[in-house]
Amino acid sequence: LAQARPLPATRVRARRQTVAAPIAMMRLPPLVWRAWLLATVAATAAASDDLAGEGENATEARLLVEVGEEDLDYPMCGFSKMRLDEDPVRRHCLRQCRIESNGKIRPTFDEWEQYCRETAGLALWDDECEVYLKCTFGCEVWGGNSEAFADMSPEDRYEFLGDARADMYANSITQEQRCVLEKCHAYCVRATLGTCRESQFRQMCLAGNPELYSCDVDCDGALTFRPSTFLTVVTAASLALSLGASAR
């Protein structure tokens, strides 16, 4: 038989302290010991009666206080001092798309887009992030080149995306420019992302009240707007069809 490993000294001391109290009580005179035991039983019974008398609602209220209800206005994935590329738990959380009991969707689209940019330095970057941001860079307002960061290393890609956003919002943008950005983003969400991401964007877009700055963006997807690269492809395809028809 394998020899039993001795317990660490700290565990031995804790076990001795746990057993010491009942043993000390048993060393008392019998009358004192019985009185202590009866008092303990009576106190336990009284506590049980109190719990039964409070009813189901009171018990539920206590559980809510002890467990706590989730604050739906608080970021679903919380806050952390740890960099996102070093925090797999928060990365997993930010990839979710959840409809809450109040009808709101969490995480927000802003949080998801920030997740995309902060994880752009990872070798295994989220595919959704890549296709969406490539689409946005195909818009004239972002430079008109959807392949702007395609051949960059993860480290350079992270720096490029951070610098591009900082340059865009460094100075206060005009209402017209803001509207063009919203139209670009609305189109790319519709063109590259799934239904829940579209709902995330719609929630953010409507909360921005575009009508207040006379912006006619369709928060469900600006179907009349196309990035420059998309226009180039359409033009090239039309030209090819025309040449083919002429050759016949």
| 8 Å CB contact between 94 and 112 | yes
Average pLDDT over residues 81-86: 89
Name the pLDDT band for 70 (thresholds 50, 70, 90): low
Per-residue pLDDT tens over the stretch 107-164: 999 999 999 999 999 999 999 999 999 999 999 999 999 999 999 999 999 999 999 9
pLDDT at 36 over 90: no
Distance CA 212, CA 92 (A): 36
Task: Compare 39 and 171 and report the one with higher pLDDT.
Answer: 171
Distance CA 130, CA 35 (A): 74
Tell me whether residue 201 is exposed, middle or buried, using C-beta atoms within 10 angstroms of its C-beta: 0 to 12, 13 to 18, 19 or more: buried
Q: Which of 34-38, 56-60, 157-161 has the highest mean pLDDT?
A: 157-161
| 8 Å CB contact between 206 and 219 | yes
Which residues are 99's β-sheet partners?
105
pTM for the model stands at: 0.60
From start to end of the chain, where are the E strands? 98-99, 105-106
Residue 166, φ and ψ in degrees, nearest 5: -60, -40
